[in-house]
Amino acid sequence: MKVNTDIAQTHLKSNKKQTMLASMGVTVGIGVFIFMISLVVGFNRNSDEGFFKTTPHIRIFQEDKLSQPLLNIVDTNVSPIIINPTISNLSSTLLNPSKIISDLKNEEDVVTATEHVSVSLFYNNGHSQITGQASGVNIIEANAMFDIESTMLAGDIQNLVSTPNGIIIGVGIADKFNIQLNDNISVISAVGVSKILKVVGVFSTSNAALDESKSYVNLPMSQQLLKQNSSYVTDIFVNIKDPNKAVAYTDHLEKITGYNAEDWQTANEAAMASKKTRRVMFGAISLAILLVAAFGIYNIINMTVKEKLNDIAILKAIGFSGKDVLSIFLKETFLIGLIGTSLGLILAYVLIKAVSGIYIGGNIGYFPIWIEPEVFIMGAAIGMFITLMAGYIPARSAAHIDPIEIFRK
């Protein structure tokens, strides 16, 4: 064992109380830091899962385009204008959707891809009307994507497959119209097609606005409601392996499909902003805690240096260089950091385990917090870094102590 390490260890061992106190500072700092970050990560993951019940990772659609001049005039003196430009799309359908889907399914990162037709319609009951949106889907594929089954209150998604004129409605609509399973509901689409549909299921999400407007119908039914043929598709929903890579992946999908692609984060911009705010807020609080711990370490190492001025002078007199003294005190800090961080990891584990057992209820269930290995690794690294930084300052001043000044006193 190197003599510097030996000296550092002896200093720590002969002053156990102080060592433990300094380590406890790190422990609390790291423990709370990891706990807070895990809280944010868990919360974000929970809200992301909420998004994925209604939003695909990536939505491919055709964007409405305004009419453009026919001639592309380069001359800068002349600027062509179109008075009263209108949306020039002949239809909002994607051309040859089955080809696009089979192309998408060949992509390595794509997990599922499914067609979707969005229909604006009114649900009618006597004189009362509710405006809403029906999603024309292949219910089996849509279920794989959004886990509709888990939100079902009554009926079964399989019933939609066997009932061409079936509809699964939100619980809000059912309540308002006093409609039950197997009742009929009258709908009229924005293009004026009226249908009587049979309610084969009722779902309830955590979003009341959605429950009062949304319904699922079979793909052919949605096409009929829009007076379109069977190749009419407004969107293609795509789920990929890692939803966090959706933003980067949209460009690629735009290239291979030729249509617009929108990732879930852009689609839920407001929620993303609050997520970011949350992360910054918690990050700031936990960094403040770490900083307090760092000051604790600084104080204790500084005190140790002040107490050991004589020892430092002796060490220098018997041939230890400034570098040796620096290394002795850095080693002490490192050991304090190591003990403190290890205990901090345990503390964080215990805190997370305790909190994750709290039952919140509602659509959240148990408190959304998990042991995240990345957060633990990051917490440990930051803890060690801050400890070493806090110890470095007094250690350096110890290295610069002039032994003669001590001996003269």
Partner 1 sequence: MEKKIILQTNNIVKYFHEPVKFKALKDVSFEIKESEFLTITGKSGCGKSTLMYILSTMDSDYEGELFIDGKKISGQSQDQLAMIRNKNIGFVFQFHYLLPEFTCLKNIMIPALKLGVKSYEQIEYEAYQKLELLDIKDQALKPASKISGGQQQRVAIARALINDPKIIMGDEPTGNLDSKNAKVVLDTFKELSQEGGQTIIVVTHDTDFAKKSDRTIVMADGEIIDYGY
**Residues near partner 1 (CB under 8 A):** 3, 6-7, 10-11, 14-15, 310-311, 313-324, 403-404, 407-408
| Nearest approach, Cβ of residue 329 and partner 1 (Å) | 14
| Nearest approach, Cβ of residue 332 and partner 1 (Å) | 12
- Which of residues 220 and 403 has its CB atom nearest to partner 1 in the complex? 403
In the three-class reduction of DSSP (H, G, I as helix; E, B as strand; rest coil), residue 17 is classed as helix
In contact, 105 and 99? CB cutoff 8 Å: no
In contact, 8 and 328? CB cutoff 8 Å: yes
- Which of residues 190 and 404 has its CB atom nearest to partner 1 in the complex? 404
| Nearest approach, Cβ of residue 6 and partner 1 (Å) | 7
301-322: b or e for each residue (b if 16 or more CB lie within 10 Å)? Answer: bbebbeebeebbbebbeeebee
- Which of residues 283 and 322 has its CB atom nearest to partner 1 in the complex? 322
In contact, 295 and 22? CB cutoff 8 Å: no
- Which of residues 100 and 315 has its CB atom nearest to partner 1 in the complex? 315
214-218 vs 235-240, strand pairing mode: unpaired
| Nearest approach, Cβ of residue 317 and partner 1 (Å) | 5
- Which of residues 311 and 372 has its CB atom nearest to partner 1 in the complex? 311
Q: Is 352 exposed, middle or buried (0-12, 13-18, 19+ CB in 10 A)?
A: buried
- Which of residues 127 and 408 has its CB atom nearest to partner 1 in the complex? 408
- Which of residues 3 and 73 has its CB atom nearest to partner 1 in the complex? 3
| Nearest approach, Cβ of residue 334 and partner 1 (Å) | 19
What is the Cα–Cα distance from 344 to 121, expressed in whole angstroms? 56
Nearest CA-CA partner of 226 in 362, 89, 120: 120
45-79: b or e for each residue (b if 16 or more CB lie within 10 Å)? Answer: ebbbebbbbbbbbbbbbbeeeeeeeeeeeeeeeee
> CB neighbours of 251 closer than 8 A, spacing ≥ 6?
261
SS (H, E, C) 288-342: HHHHHHHHHHHHHHHHHHHHCHHHHHHHHHCCCCHHHHHHHHHHHHHHHHHHHHH
- Which of residues 137 and 313 has its CB atom nearest to partner 1 in the complex? 313
| Nearest approach, Cβ of residue 384 and partner 1 (Å) | 26
- Which of residues 173 and 313 has its CB atom nearest to partner 1 in the complex? 313
C-alpha 84: how far from chain center:
43
| Nearest approach, Cβ of residue 312 and partner 1 (Å) | 10
* Cβ neighbour number for residue 41 with a 10 Å cutoff: 18
Which helix H or strand E contains 343, and what residues bound it?
Answer: helix 322-356
Nearest CA-CA partner of 367 in 51, 33, 9, 40: 40
| Nearest approach, Cβ of residue 396 and partner 1 (Å) | 14
| Nearest approach, Cβ of residue 285 and partner 1 (Å) | 39
Alpha helices in 120-240 (DSSP H): 139-146, 157-162, 171-177, 208-211, 219-225
